[in-house]
Structure 1
Amino acid sequence: MDRRVGVAGVVSVGGRLVRHELRLLGCLALWVARRRQGGGPGRTLFPSARGLGAVMFGFGFVCVVETIVMSLLLSRWPTVHLVVLVVDVYTVFFVVGLYAAAVVRPHVLEPGAVRIRYAGHVDLPIPLELIAGVRRELLLTHGKAEGVLNVDVAGQTSVTVELAEPVTHLTFLGRALPVRTVRVNADDPTAFVRALNDAVTRARSGSGPVPDPPG
């Protein structure tokens, strides 16, 4: 029984990894096409990847340089060279895919909920009626704490969302974690806080969804 459970767990993790890679591939296609996920009538997008570009570019540049250097060093061993080349090319794809996913999957304020998203592995819907408070709060370091989800970009968050009741966040490997405080980053934290507070107020008063922004 334990063995079957272990095999099922491995298969589940493998499936999540495959879906994540496919999601990154789809995000790359959207990024090249200059499109974003989640838009539509009654929905407002709030990007959060502004501070990520320089970090990812630097990391990607290092990976490219490493690929070239390793190709020169391993040219006498074709098999080893091929294996290392595949790993290095995949690493470059992964870095670019993560950045593309962060760009094309911004936070989404939609009727009745806000979706907190990051890259290809975070997508947490939060019902507006569960939000107890929203504030702009710049934090540069994040320690792990029970009930707190940090969705940081380059180690930074700028908005803190407090919940009246916990919501369940599924980690990358499928673990369910109850969270009551969500810290996220937004390119325009003031606009995000204002829009989210307005949406919460409207949801509590029963006056309907937030209208689309002008223009």
Structure 2
Amino acid sequence: MSEEKLDKLIKLNERIVKQNDEIIDLLKELNGSEGDANSQEEIELPEEEDETPVKEVGEFFADEELSEGEVLFVANSQDNQIDIYKLSIKKSDGLKVSPSQIENEIRNNFDDINYEITLDNLTGSGMTTQFKVPLLAAIESLNNDEAIPSNACILDDESFLNLPDILRIAIENGAETVYLSMKNAVSVLQAPPMIMDYLTFYKSNDDLFEKLF
């Protein structure tokens, strides 16, 4: 997938309400150039609850303002739930992690990371490993001394097999902008226009930071 096509897709996404037909044509073109290897099931927002266990309790993305170094996101929990998480970081002379069960995941994926990191599950009790991009966004927020809007949901940089449910939980709980990796672009090919209006795609961490800050 060329940089030129990615840039064009992102610009189209920002005008998605008026130009939904054009972005669908572009996604079809990109999907054809990628081949079947990256094809995924097209997204349809379910009208009724399916068998996936989810929790819906309040508008967490609108309840309070975030401070620098804080981020909200939705992720798959290790107890097979979809939960809303709040990740917070503070400057520290060494790595301090709460809960301790995610410390190995952080050490295995980040070098020389000296922060006090807290991951809170706001809707359940399980933990998740889908916090790498949210953590980088929190670090960037702290370093820039600029808070991330509480109505922003930042999804990790991976392909989500249960993307419809994740988007539904985010939107129904007050998220106005869902930052989604380009890896999921083809999955939302046939998403309803009202869903596409919530999505902002990012193609890299730097691209995400430019959109956030």
- TM class by smaller structure: under 0.3
Structure with the higher helix share, 1 or 2: 1
Report the TM-score, using the length of structure 1 for normalisation.
0.25
Higher relative contact order (CA 8 A, sep 6+): 2
Report the TM-score, using the length of structure 2 for normalisation.
0.25
Indicate the structure (1 or 2) with the bigger Cα radius of gyration: 1
